[in-house]
Chains A and B, each alone.
Chain A
Amino acid sequence: MMSAFSYLSLLLNFRPRARCGLLAASAIVISAALAADSPALAQDAPQPQAGKVISGYLTHMSTDLGGHIVEHSGSDPMYATLVNIQSGPRILNNFLQMRAVDPAHAIVFDRLSSSSFGYGGDPYNVTNLNFSKGRIYDFYGSFRRNRQYFDYNLLANPLIPPESTPFVPILSSPHLFNTVRRMTDVNIKLAPLSIVSPHFGYFQNVNQGPTNSTLHVGADALLTQNWRVSTDVWNGGIDWKPLARTTISYDQFFTHYKGNTSWQLTGLDYKLSDGTPVSLGINLSSVWNTPCAAPFNPDGTVNPTCNGFLAYSRSAPTRTLFPSEQFHFQSSSIPNVTMNGRVLYMGTTSNLINYNEYFNGLNSRPQDRATETTGSAAARRINVNVDYGITWQVTPTISLNDVFDFWSFRQPATNLFTETSFAGTSMLAPPGAATTTTTSDYQALNQNTKINTLYVAWDAAPRARVSLGYLYSNRRITDAGGDNIPIHSYGALFGLALRPTSEWRINFNVDAIYADNSFTRISPRATQHYRLRTSYNPHPWLSLAGTINILEDRNNVQTVHHLAHDRDFSFAAMINPNEKWGIDLNYAYNSIFSRTDMCYTSTPPVEGAQAQPSPPVCQQAGLPLQTNGYYNQPTQYGSIGFVFNPVKRLHTAAGYRMSAVNGQAPPINIRQVPGSLQSQYQIPYANLAFDLNPNWSWKADYNYYSYGEGTPIGPTLPRSFRGNVYTLGVRYAF
Chain B
Amino acid sequence: MRCSFCSVAILAVSIGVGGAGLAQATGGAPSQAVVSSPKAAVNPTEYAGAEACAICHEAEVKGFNNNAHTRLALEHGGKGVTCESCHGPGQAHVESGGDATKIFGFSKAQARLIDDKCLGCHADTHPNFERSAHGEAKVSCTSCHSVHKFATEESLLKVAQPKLCYTCHTDVKPAFAQPFHHKIDEGLMSCSDCHDPHGTFQPNQLRISSTQDAICTKCHVETAGPFVYEHPPIKTEGCTLCHSPHGSPNPRLLKVSNVNTLCLQCHSPSMNFTAPGTPSFHNMANQYQACTVCHVQIHGSNADSSFFK
Are B149 and A25 touching (Cβ within 8 A)?
yes
Are A330 and B127 touching (Cβ within 8 A)?
yes
Are B232 and A559 touching (Cβ within 8 A)?
no
Contact of A403 among B131, B218, B252, B273 (CB under 8 A): B131
Contacts of B221 in A (CB 8 A): 205, 207, 229-231, 257
8 new A-B contacts at CB < 8 Å, known A22-B149, A401-B131, A533-B169? A32-B166, A43-B187, A216-B294, A445-B235, A521-B273, A600-B284, A623-B278, A668-B261
Are B250 and A676 touching (Cβ within 8 A)?
yes
Binary per-residue interface labels of chain B (184-222) against chain A in the complex, 1 for a CB within 8 Å, 0 otherwise: 011110000000000001000000001110000011011
Are B163 and A389 touching (Cβ within 8 A)?
no
Q: Which residues of chain A from 97 to 112 have a CB within 8 Å of any chain B CB? A: 97, 99, 103-104, 110-111
Contacts of A36 in B (CB 8 A): 162-163, 166, 173, 185
Closest 10 CB pairs of A and B: A24-B7, A622-B280, A21-B10, A637-B174, A340-B127, A330-B127, A32-B163, A669-B289, A25-B11, A559-B270
| CB-CB nearest in chain A for B12 | A25
B233 interface residue (CB < 8 Å to A)? yes
CA distance A326 to B159 in the complex (A): 33
B120 interface residue (CB < 8 Å to A)? yes
Are A674 and B308 touching (Cβ within 8 A)?
no
CA distance A156 to B263 in the complex (A): 13
CB proximity of B223 to chain A, nearest CB, Å: 10
Binary per-residue interface labels of chain B (132-154) against chain A in the complex, 1 for a CB within 8 Å, 0 otherwise: 01001111000000100101011
Contacts of A352 in B (CB 8 A): 302-303
**Would you call the interface of chain A mostly helix, strand, loop, or mixed?**
strand
Are B271 and A558 touching (Cβ within 8 A)?
yes
Are B187 and A124 touching (Cβ within 8 A)?
yes
Contacts of A231 in B (CB 8 A): 221
Contacts of A103 in B (CB 8 A): 71, 74
7 pairs across A/B with beta carbons < 8 Å?
A25-B11, A214-B294, A342-B201, A502-B8, A522-B266, A547-B171, A570-B173
Are A21 and B6 touching (Cβ within 8 A)?
yes
Are A588 and B173 touching (Cβ within 8 A)?
yes
Given known contacts A18-B59, A124-B187, A459-B112, is B167 in contact with A543 (CB within 8 Å)?
A: yes
Contacts of A602 in B (CB 8 A): 283-285
Given known contacts A539-B4, A557-B272, is B289 in contact with A672 (CB within 8 Å)?
A: yes
Contacts of A399 in B (CB 8 A): 130
Are B10 and A216 touching (Cβ within 8 A)?
no
Are A156 and B292 touching (Cβ within 8 A)?
yes
| CB-CB nearest in chain A for B200 | A387
Q: Which residues of chain A from 651 to 680 have a CB within 8 Å of any chain B CB? A: 657-659, 661, 663, 665-666, 668-672, 674-677, 679
**How many positions in chain A have a CB within 8 Å of any CB in the partner chain?**
221
Are A570 and B228 touching (Cβ within 8 A)?
no
Q: Which residues of chain B from 1 to 48 have a CB within 8 Å of any chain A CB? A: 3-4, 6-11, 14, 38
Are A350 and B309 touching (Cβ within 8 A)?
no
Contact of B236 among A82, A447, A618, A674 (CB under 8 A): A447
Are A411 and B159 touching (Cβ within 8 A)?
no
Are A124 and B160 touching (Cβ within 8 A)?
no
CA distance A154 to B139 in the complex (A): 44
A86 interface residue (CB < 8 Å to B)? no
Q: Which of the four size classes fits the interface of chain B?
A: 35 or more
Are B154 and A130 touching (Cβ within 8 A)?
yes
A488 interface residue (CB < 8 Å to B)? no
B164 interface residue (CB < 8 Å to A)? yes
CB proximity of A55 to chain B, nearest CB, Å: 18
Q: Which residues of chain A from 442 to 456 have a CB within 8 Å of any chain B CB? A: 443, 445, 447, 455
Are B74 and A324 touching (Cβ within 8 A)?
no
Contacts of B55 in A (CB 8 A): none
Given known contacts A403-B201, A546-B170, is B293 in contact with A214 (CB within 8 Å)?
A: yes
Given known contacts A417-B303, A596-B265, is B159 in contact with A32 (CB within 8 Å)?
A: yes
CB proximity of A732 to chain B, nearest CB, Å: 21
Are B159 and A322 touching (Cβ within 8 A)?
no
CB proximity of A26 to chain B, nearest CB, Å: 6
A428 interface residue (CB < 8 Å to B)? no
Contacts of A528 in B (CB 8 A): none
A265 interface residue (CB < 8 Å to B)? no
CA distance A671 to B14 in the complex (A): 63
Contacts of A32 in B (CB 8 A): 158-159, 163-164, 166-167
Are A599 and B269 touching (Cβ within 8 A)?
yes
Are A350 and B225 touching (Cβ within 8 A)?
yes
CA distance A675 to B130 in the complex (A): 45
Are B178 and A523 touching (Cβ within 8 A)?
no
Residue with the greatest number of chain B CB neighbours at <10 A, chosen from A22, A152, A330, A475: A22
Are B283 and A570 touching (Cβ within 8 A)?
no
B96 interface residue (CB < 8 Å to A)? no
Q: Which of A281-289, A430-438, A723-731 contacts B (4 or more CB under 8 A)?
A: A281-289
Residues of B within 8 A of A (CB): 3-4, 6-11, 14, 38, 58-59, 66, 68, 71-72, 74-75, 107-108, 110, 112, 119-120, 123-124, 127-128, 130-131, 133, 136-139, 146, 149, 151, 153-154, 158-160, 162-164, 166-171, 173-175, 177-180, 183, 185-188, 201, 210-212, 218-219, 221-222, 224-230, 232-233, 235-237, 241, 249-252, 255-261, 264-266, 268-275, 277-287, 289-290, 292-294, 296, 302-303, 305, 308-309
CA distance A179 to B299 in the complex (A): 19
CB proximity of A237 to chain B, nearest CB, Å: 12
CA distance A20 to B14 in the complex (A): 13
Are B249 and A659 touching (Cβ within 8 A)?
yes
Contacts of B225 in A (CB 8 A): 320, 350, 379, 381, 411
Are B287 and A158 touching (Cβ within 8 A)?
yes
Given known contacts A35-B163, A124-B186, is B290 in contact with A159 (CB within 8 Å)?
A: yes
Are A24 and B266 touching (Cβ within 8 A)?
no
Are A659 and B268 touching (Cβ within 8 A)?
no
Contacts of B112 in A (CB 8 A): 459
CA distance A332 to B39 in the complex (A): 13
Are B167 and A25 touching (Cβ within 8 A)?
no
Are B173 and A411 touching (Cβ within 8 A)?
no
A132 interface residue (CB < 8 Å to B)? yes
Contacts of B260 in A (CB 8 A): 668-669
Are A338 and B130 touching (Cβ within 8 A)?
yes
A552 interface residue (CB < 8 Å to B)? no
CA distance A230 to B305 in the complex (A): 24
A348 interface residue (CB < 8 Å to B)? yes
Given known contacts A415-B302, A497-B138, A602-B284, is B236 in contact with A677 (CB within 8 Å)?
A: no
Are B174 and A586 touching (Cβ within 8 A)?
yes
Contact of B74 among A20, A24, A134, A475 (CB under 8 A): A134
CB proximity of B103 to chain A, nearest CB, Å: 16
Contacts of B212 in A (CB 8 A): 322, 324, 344, 346, 383, 385, 409
CA distance A409 to B213 in the complex (A): 11
| CB-CB nearest in chain B for A568 | B171
A462 interface residue (CB < 8 Å to B)? yes
Are A597 and B270 touching (Cβ within 8 A)?
yes
| CB-CB nearest in chain B for A573 | B170
Given known contacts A32-B167, A445-B232, A635-B249, is B266 in contact with A220 (CB within 8 Å)?
A: no
Are B170 and A572 touching (Cβ within 8 A)?
yes
Given known contacts A21-B10, A415-B303, A588-B171, is B235 in contact with A447 (CB within 8 Å)?
A: yes
CB proximity of B121 to chain A, nearest CB, Å: 9
Are A601 and B160 touching (Cβ within 8 A)?
no
Are A45 and B151 touching (Cβ within 8 A)?
yes
CA distance A118 to B72 in the complex (A): 35
CB proximity of B51 to chain A, nearest CB, Å: 19
Given known contacts A588-B174, A604-B285, is B302 in contact with A316 (CB within 8 Å)?
A: yes
Binary per-residue interface labels of chain A (684-711) against chain B in the complex, 1 for a CB within 8 Å, 0 otherwise: 0000000000000000000000010000
Are A621 and B123 touching (Cβ within 8 A)?
no
Are A547 and B169 touching (Cβ within 8 A)?
yes
| CB-CB nearest in chain B for A445 | B230
Are A601 and B265 touching (Cβ within 8 A)?
no
CA distance A222 to B205 in the complex (A): 41
Are A477 and B232 touching (Cβ within 8 A)?
yes
Are A322 and B210 touching (Cβ within 8 A)?
yes
